[in-house]
């Protein structure tokens, strides 16, 4: 008997723009996955990630999506959370069903030749189904001024830039120390400046990461620089991804993290002057000069309110936090690093102990 081999039946690749990866929390919010958080809170910020067989072509030392990190791209975590695949059109339909609870959509690009075109496609598909504020966390190596302008034209209202490293030296060490690395410090700042021109004041943000080897002084200089440009700094805590090149590096001590959170809020929202900050020889924040009762009271009030320790993220249409990315900076078993909700009385007591504010003010 002659056996004729049939042609193998293959499924089309599950890649963008027809497919996207959806954060685990977003999948829960849209009822595409089951689960619950350890504490109940409203969650309406939907986070998407482009998906390609080749993955992201960058190779940042700390990133779970790094090109040389072991494993298939679809199996890799990003900020240590799962990102299940979903069809883009299904996602848009589900967002329309839950439109009343949505606060914002954020699409995270990756470094890939098709990323710009596919991001525009995905943005337009969602915009046809639901009216929600939209952000893009851009991949600067794929962009220019005209492409950023296109994002504005299709309805994007905020641009995020994953600067992460707050000094040029660290940027080169952690992001471009690979063969033919295409990430350029100057290019990132071009994208920041173009975005600021196109989208306006406080419509652009730079992600800044604590724990890559920078000092507190370095962080402060970046906060002042971005504030002068009317650009937000969204603060992240380095959370090592297993098997990444920085997978064994420890996270920043909790007291250091709390003090940087407070320092950023005082600079951004309360115009704290640089001469009010004291740093030791190693560049660590060691004092807040509150040499008047009014300033002392203001600093203590900001620390006690708790909002300085909440997640930085793009706002909803009403101005409230629209993107809270729970567990983006810490493990679920760890103390909250940034709170995706207003800290309660017990949380504030814990924050006071972690902050050790009296030591800073005495110094």
Residues 11, 3: Cα–Cα separation, whole Å:
24
Residue 213 belongs to some domain of the structure: yes
Residue 310, pLDDT score: 94
**pLDDT tens for each residue of the chain, 363 residues long:** 333 333 444 467 899 999 999 998 899 889 998 877 667 777 789 999 999 998 888 889 998 888 888 887 666 677 666 788 999 999 999 999 999 999 999 999 999 999 999 999 999 999 999 999 999 999 999 999 999 999 999 999 999 999 999 999 999 999 865 445 568 999 999 999 999 999 999 999 999 999 999 999 999 999 999 999 999 999 999 998 888 899 999 999 999 999 999 999 999 999 999 999 999 999 999 999 999 999 999 999 999 999 999 999 999 988 888 888 777 778 778 889 999 899 999 999 999 999 999 999 997
How many other C-beta atoms lie within 10 A of the C-beta of residue 177?
12
Q: What CATH number did the domain enclosing 23 receive?
A: 3.20.20.70
Tell me if the bond preceding 329 is cis, omega within 30° of 0.
no
Question: Which domain range does residue 138 map to?
Answer: 19-324+334-362
329 part of a folded domain: no
- d(Cα 350, Cα 337) in Å, to the nearest integer? 11
SS3 363: coil
Of the candidates 54, 48, 47, the residue with the CA atom closest to the CA atom of residue 13: 54
Residue at 5 is within a domain: no
Is the distance from CB of 354 to CB of 303 less than 8 angstroms?
no
> Side-chain half-sphere of 177: how many Cα atoms within 13 Å?
11
CB 214 within 8 A of CB 166: yes
Q: Is residue 8 part of a domain?
A: no
Residue 46 lies in a domain: yes
pLDDT at 248: 92
Asked if residue 14 belongs to a domain, the reply is no
Amino acid 69: pLDDT: 87
pLDDT at residue number 4? 37
DSSP letter string over 176-210?
S-STT----HHHHHHHHHHHHHHH-TTSEEEEEEE
The pLDDT value given to residue 181: 56
Name the helix (H) or strand (E) containing 220. helix 216-228
- Edge-first strand order for the sheet with 104-108 is 85-87, 19-22, 45-50, 104-108, 134-138, 158-164, 204-210, 232-237
Give, in degrees to the nearest 5, the angle at Cα 42 between 308 and 34.
Answer: 125
Beta bridge partners of 105: 46, 134
**Number of domains the chain contains:** 1
Question: Per-residue DSSP letters for 299-310?
Answer: HHHHHHH-GGGB
């Amino acid at each position: 008997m002659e056996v004729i081999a049939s042609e193998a039946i293959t499924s089309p690749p599950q890649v963008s723009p027809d497919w996207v990866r959806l954060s685990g929390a977003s999948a829960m919010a849209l009822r595409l996955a089951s689960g619950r958080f350890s504490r109940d809170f409203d969650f309406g910020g939907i986070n998407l990630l482009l998906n390609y067989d080749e993955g992201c072509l960058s190779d940042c030392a700390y990133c779970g999506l790094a090109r040389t990190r072991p494993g298939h791209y679809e199996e890799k975590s990003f900020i240590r959370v799962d990102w299940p695949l979903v069809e883009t059109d299904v996602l848009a339909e589900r967002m329309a069903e839950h439109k009343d609870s949505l606060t914002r959509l954020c699409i995270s690009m990756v470094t890939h030749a098709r990323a710009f075109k596919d991001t525009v496609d995905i943005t337009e598909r969602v915009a046809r189904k639901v009216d929600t504020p939209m952000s893009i966390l851009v991949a600067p190596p794929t962009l220019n001024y005209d492409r950023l302008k296109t994002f504005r034209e299709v309805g994007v209202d905020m641009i995020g830039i994953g600067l992460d490293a707050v000094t040029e030296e660290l940027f080169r060490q952690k992001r471009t120390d690979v063969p033919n690395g295409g990430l350029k410090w100057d290019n990132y700042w071009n994208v920041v400046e173009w975005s600021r021109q196109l989208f306006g004041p406080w419509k652009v943000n730079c992600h800044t990461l604590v724990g890559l080897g920078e000092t507190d002084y370095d962080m402060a200089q970046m906060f002042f620089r971005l504030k002068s440009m009317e650009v937000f700094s969204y603060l992240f805590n380095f959370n090592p991804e297993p098997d990444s090149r920085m997978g064994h590096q420890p996270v920043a001590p909790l007291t250091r993290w709390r003090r940087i959170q407070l320092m950023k809020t005082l600079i951004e929202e309360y115009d704290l002057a640089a001469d009010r900050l004291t740093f030791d020889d190693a560049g660590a924040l060691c004092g807040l000069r509150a040499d008047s009762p009014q300033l002392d009271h203001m600093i203590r009030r900001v620390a006690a309110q708790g909002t300085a320790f909440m997640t930085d993220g793009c706002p909803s249409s009403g101005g409230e936090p629209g993107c809270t990315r729970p567990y983006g900076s810490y493990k679920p078993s760890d103390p909250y690093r940034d709170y995706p909700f207003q800290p309660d009385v017990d949380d504030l007591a814990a924050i006071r102990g972690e902050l050790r504010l009296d030591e800073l003010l005495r110094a």
